[in-house]
Structure formats: structure tokens, C-alpha cells
Structure 1
């Protein structure tokens, strides 16, 4: 069986038989959804690795695993339909590159950050009821900024690659193209980068998901960065289509603290 997503079906509305459960295999997380005894039930399981298997199937209720924890919702059964849809995280991510990144004064660079997605489970049609959201990868919490003006984020370690293999099937992460401009008079040597995923849109390509382009202008350690968000689909591959709007709406330009440089972390 192919590991590629089913043609037009991975995020499509599914109708579940009352005697069956829907099984969503979404890379490192598997989600089961069923309706039994007047209520909806959802269970999930995280795998130790991130296999590139993406498919949805139905199986008899008796064949569902016994060692997962089922959660129960007393939502009305308007129909036996289920939708599991991808969404970007609900708060910013503190990205820790595996190797430090230096950008000379006046220079710019393009990096691609891989962001784990959340999967929203909704039931019913035509007025769907949201039951829960399940992250594809469990991320730890992190604080970005100072004590008074900082914000709670998720922590993410990534390689911050310079290129994208658009032929590789990855549907539980979104590739975020980040254009970093060092408009300060000194070298930008950063250890942590804050990506405000809650303001980003989600697009679907042939084999993977993307966000809109993000341009970050660094103006110096003591200044907020200017962040510009593209309103169009990324040009990494043709025919990307918008599948989710941003969780939070923003103007085209934001002023946010985005970088923590080596000096601010060490105090030297």
C-alpha cells in the first residue's frame, strides 16, 4: 500500500459505520474516532518514530486497541460524519537550530522551518462540532523574552534547512519559509528564533504542507523585529491551495521580539 495520502481524501469528510471506527494514520500519531451508545469517542497514540504513512480507514470496533485511553463527548449525532483537519499550533514556537546561525550585517538568508501540526477532530454535518485537537508531536513549553513582556511558547529543535525536497511525503508538518534580513549594524548570531505560527496560513502542496512566506527584519538586539506575512501561497511548488486560515488575524506587518542572540543568553 502506498504511503502517500489518499487522492483527495485525507482531510475529506468521512462517514463512519456505527459498528466501525475510523483510523487515521498521520505520521507519528494515530487517531481513532467512533460513535457508540449515543456518544462520540476519540483515542490517539503517538509512535516513537515519524513514519511517512498517511491514510484513513475503517475497522470493526472489536479490532480497536485495548491499551489506549478513549475520551468521550456527549455531542449530538446530527450525522455519522467525521473530519480530521490539520492546523498550525495555537501559540508561538521557540526554534532552537541544531547549529548556531550567523548572518553578517546588511545580509539576508532564507531558511525553512518544519512546524509540527495539530489535528482537529470534528463531527457532524452541516454544522460540525469540534471535539478536540491532538498534536502530531508532543512539544515542551518554553518562555521567550523577559519576565514581564515575554510569552509562553512551545519549544522546537530543528535543523532550519536551506532547501526543501518537495517530493518527500510529509503531511504532519508544515514547511515555513522564513526570510531573515539583518538590518542592524552588527552580525546576527542567534541561538533561538521565535516563529509566530498562530498568525500563519496553511497551504497544501502535492506531498506536503506549507505556510505563507515570513519576512523578519532584525534591527538590533534592543529593538523589536518587523515581521511581514505574505498573503499569497508559497512559490516553493506550483498549485498550492489554501486549506486553513490563520488562528489569529494580523495586519500584514507585526512588531515582535523574534531573536535571542548568544549575548542575551549568556549575559556577556
Structure 2
């Protein structure tokens, strides 16, 4: 795994690779950090399950997650304009790399559109691509930047009258965890949905508010805490609560990242795409 701390004394260079997708290059130059990144190959955010199953670097191997500080790495071939220089307070900075959810909610969809009967509940697992947070551990974990593991597409979620910008990702929401689909750049997010309205709940699109979720790690796999969504009908708003601990499938997991917005309960937000809402529209 690439998550952890990297000492960057003067002249030290390190390069890490996430899932054969993203290369991050770090160089120490006194009190300066030099940072650059590039992508091995462009994979769109709507990787389907068949493509994922065939992708190198699956759950049972560590390729694409190696760290290297040798001097003949591609770090020498990075274009000068790709480097960003950070003047830090420590003469011997320790740079921390950790996973984080990107800064907007995600619109995802289940494997099949279906109806949830009044009083019924279902538990879905969603695989969300993470970002890499770069922080200076020697300066109280000062956050320097974030780099998305994959290029993300923005969309609009809501109605003509009200809505919000989200990321669109064509990763399915499934009823069970599939070990063959585990990837280092994706986090499994369990969501428990309960329909407390008097009508069937039509689940076609789900807005997952990742800013309220933590990220945990167990055996090389990323997990979020479970989000509970209670739909009560009316104007399509749902009550959200977050457990704040690893799900049962990842008992004993290590906390890597706390949520951007740590509010765990008392939230009423639009979660499901109603029949009269706008379709998902790609934005630029």
C-alpha cells in the first residue's frame, strides 16, 4: 500500500504508484517539497465490473502499489512544468499520504433499478474511488493538496428548482462484497436503506454523501463506516446517520481518515432520484 509516511531529507526522492493508475513523485530539497504526478493510463470513472475484473493489480497481488526511491525511476523524466514546489517549515519534512473521499457527493446506481416496499430495508455496497491526500506530518499534518486517483466527471443531481453538483461514477451498488473487485484506489461503502414511507421507494440513482464518511483499512482493503438512510416520503428528502465505526465485515480495521464533515445524525438531505427529477447530465 502507498498509505503512510515518507521522510524527505535533502536530496531524497521517492515515487509511489497507486493501482497502476497514478504515480506520485516526491523530492526533498532542504525545506522544500517538490511534488509531481502522472497517470500510467487513462481509465474513465465509469469502469464497469467486467473491466475491473480483468484489470491488473487485483485483490491478491500488490503490483501497482509499490514504493521506490531508486534514482533511475521515471522521476527524472517528469517535465519541469509538472513539479509543484512547497516551502515547508521543517528542514526534514515527513510527508504523509492517506486516502480521502473527493470533495463532492457521488451519484451511483444499483445493479438493477428496483422498488423497496414500505417498511422494507436493503443494504448496498458501493465502490467509490478515493483521492490521495498529501500532508506535512511534521507540521501538525498540514494538508498540502489532494490528487484524485482517477479523473472524475461532474454532474447535476436534483430538480430544476433545487439541486447540487456531484461526481458521477458508474460503479454499481451491489448486495454483497466481491473480493475479486477489490482495488487499492476504491473504498467499499456500505449503505443501509429503509423505506418508512407509505409508498414503494423507486431506487434508480443514489446520492452518496461521502463527506460524512470515515475511511478504514483492513488487510489492504479500504472501507467506510456504514451510512443509514431512512426515506420517509414527502419531498424526496431522507434522514441520514453515520455509524462512525468500521462495518461488521471490517471489524478491527484501522482508521486512516476522518470525515470532512463529521456530523453523524440529524441530517435531512435528498438521496434518491425521483421520477420527476433531472436526468444525470455531464458537466465540464
Q: Does TM, scored on the shorter chain, surpass 0.5? A: yes
Distance in 2 between residues matched to 1:106 and 1:128, nearest whole Å: 45
CA 1:245 to 1:172, structure 2 compared with 1: closer, same or farther past 3 Å?
A: same
Q: Give the equivalent residue in structure 2 for 1:211.
A: 224
Further displaced range: 112-121 or 162-171: 162-171
After TM superposition, the structure 1 = structure 2 runs for residues 121-140 of structure 1, keeping only pairs within 5 Å, are 121-123=134-136, 125=138, 127-140=140-153
8 Å CA contact retained: 1:82, 1:121: yes
Further displaced range: 41-50 or 21-30: 41-50
Note the C-alpha offset of 1:167. Answer: 7.4
CA 1:140 to 1:16, structure 2 compared with 1: closer, same or farther past 3 Å?
A: same
CA 1:37 to 1:182, structure 2 compared with 1: closer, same or farther past 3 Å?
A: same
Work out which of the residue numbers 37, 43, 46 in structure 1 matches 2:36: 43
Q: How many residues align?
A: 258
Q: Give the equivalent residue in structure 1 for 2:15.
A: 23
CA 1:188 to 1:133, structure 2 compared with 1: closer, same or farther past 3 Å?
A: same
Distance in 2 between residues matched to 1:40 and 1:125, nearest whole Å: 12
After TM superposition, the structure 1 = structure 2 runs for residues 108-147 of structure 1, keeping only pairs within 5 Å, are 108-123=121-136, 125=138, 127-147=140-160
Work out which of the residue numbers 120, 138, 142 in structure 2 matches 1:107: 120
Work out which of the residue numbers 63, 69, 78 in structure 2 matches 1:58: 69
8 Å CA contact retained: 2:236, 2:274: no
Further displaced range: 138-147 or 161-170: 161-170
Q: CA RMSD in A?
A: 2.5
8 Å CA contact retained: 1:20, 1:59: no
**Contiguous gaps of at least 5 residues in structure 1:** none
Is 2:182 the partner of 1:174?
A: no
Give a deviation string over 1:217-256, Cα, whole Å, max 9, x none: 1222524101121132211133212221111121423111
Further displaced range: 120-129 or 135-144: 120-129
Distance in 2 between residues matched to 1:184 and 1:192, nearest whole Å: 18
Distance in 2 between residues matched to 1:122 and 1:264, nearest whole Å: 39
8 Å CA contact retained: 2:26, 2:36: yes
Give a deviation string over 1:130-164, Cα, whole Å, max 9, x none: 32110111111122223554222211211111111
After TM superposition, the structure 1 = structure 2 runs for residues 1-268 of structure 1, keeping only pairs within 5 Å, are 5=1, 10-16=2-8, 18-27=10-19, 28-36=21-29, 39-46=32-39, 47-49=41-43, 51-52=56-57, 53-60=64-71, 63-68=74-79, 69-97=82-110, 99-123=112-136, 125=138, 127-147=140-160, 149-166=162-179, 169-220=182-233, 222-265=235-278
Note the C-alpha offset of 1:258. Answer: 0.4
CA 1:231 to 1:63, structure 2 compared with 1: closer, same or farther past 3 Å?
A: closer
Note the C-alpha offset of 1:66. Answer: 2.4
Q: Which has the higher helix share?
A: 2
Note the C-alpha offset of 1:260. Answer: 0.7
8 Å CA contact retained: 2:110, 2:174: no
TM-score calculated relative to the size of structure 2 = 0.81
